[in-house]
Amino acid sequence: MRTMTIETNGFRFAVDEAGDGDHLALCLHGFPESRFSWRHQMPVLAAMGYRVWAPDLRGYGETEPKPRAVAAYCVDRLMEDVAALIDASGAKKVTLIGHDWGAGLAWTFATNKVRPLERLVIMNVPHPGVMRAHLGRSWSQLKKSWYMVFFQIPGLPEWLTTAKDARAVRQAFHGMAVDKTHFGPDVLDRYARDAQRPGAMTGMINWYRAAMRVPGKMAGPWPVIETPTLIVWGEEDAALGIELLDGTDAYVRDLTIKRLPGVSHWVQQEAPEKVNAILKDWLPAS
């Protein structure tokens, strides 16, 4: 695995790469993660014949610059980043893989057919249409999503999440994980260090601010996705209830769902062997 810089769409994206070939597996991380979150999947996908890219997304990690304006993190702008990375790769085929916010971005990218996709893999985030419907009628999910409202406050969330050597970031992983084996001090240090880079936490939280203030194409409409789609879901997700899977088939023509009991929101990091086995079984060798 090697790290490189891809200059495109006005950014210098830090990208981890593994494998080679014309079929790109583009892995999009979530909050408060980075490209590091795909460390367990990249060698497996490369061995299957994919060229794997895992970038630090806009506002995160070593990718620069980190815009301060909330509007810069509208999903429409974020989709431009994904398209630009795909174009820069020169790949002839693309499989898009996303977790958490990266999965929300992947859902929207596939729905809007920004670029052709061979396969779509979603981990522990519901389709935006399903999420909106549940937030409108589920008090349980509204309570779990309290942090999205808290993140709208200027400045305070950044201060609290980075205080005491980013203790809140460390706790987000270690505290939520059921099996904490893969969240040792070295892993938590990496995420804490990335979160404390200048401008990073504001950029990271601005994804949430933009989703409420400048929703763009995440607000719909949502045509049916024709791309074969796999959802991998850790059932012990403390932030997103398992009921958020209900109704997904109304938005996806060819849908496969794999549920992992006893696994938290950090599914691909907490249960890498199980997730990798699912990927190897569902994705065609390239």
Contact 2, 71 (CB under 8 A): no
Tokens 């409202």 locate to 149
Nearest alpha-carbon partner for 169 in 147, 149, 153, 154: 147
Is 208 considered catalytic here? yes
Contact 15, 51 (CB under 8 A): no
Three-class DSSP category at 263 = coil
Other residues' Cβ atoms within 10 Å of the Cβ of residue 92:
11
List CB contacts of 132: < 8 A, sequence separation 6 or more: 220
Tell me which of 16, 56, 100, 194 is the catalytic residue.
100
Is 60 considered catalytic here? no
List CB contacts of 30: < 8 A, sequence separation 6 or more: 37, 98, 99, 100, 101, 102, 103, 125
Is 100 considered catalytic here? yes
Tell me which of 99, 127, 134, 265 is the catalytic residue.
265
- What are the DSSP calls for 68-134, one per residue? --GGGGSHHHHHHHHHHHHHHHT-SEEEEEEETHHHHHHHHHHHTTSS--SEEEEES---HHHHHHH
Tokens 């990271």 locate to 204
Nearest alpha-carbon partner for 235 in 199, 266, 204: 266
List CB contacts of 39: < 8 A, sequence separation 6 or more: 1
Tell me which of 60, 73, 208, 251 is the catalytic residue.
208
Three-class DSSP category at 271 = coil
Active-site residues: which are they?
100, 208, 265
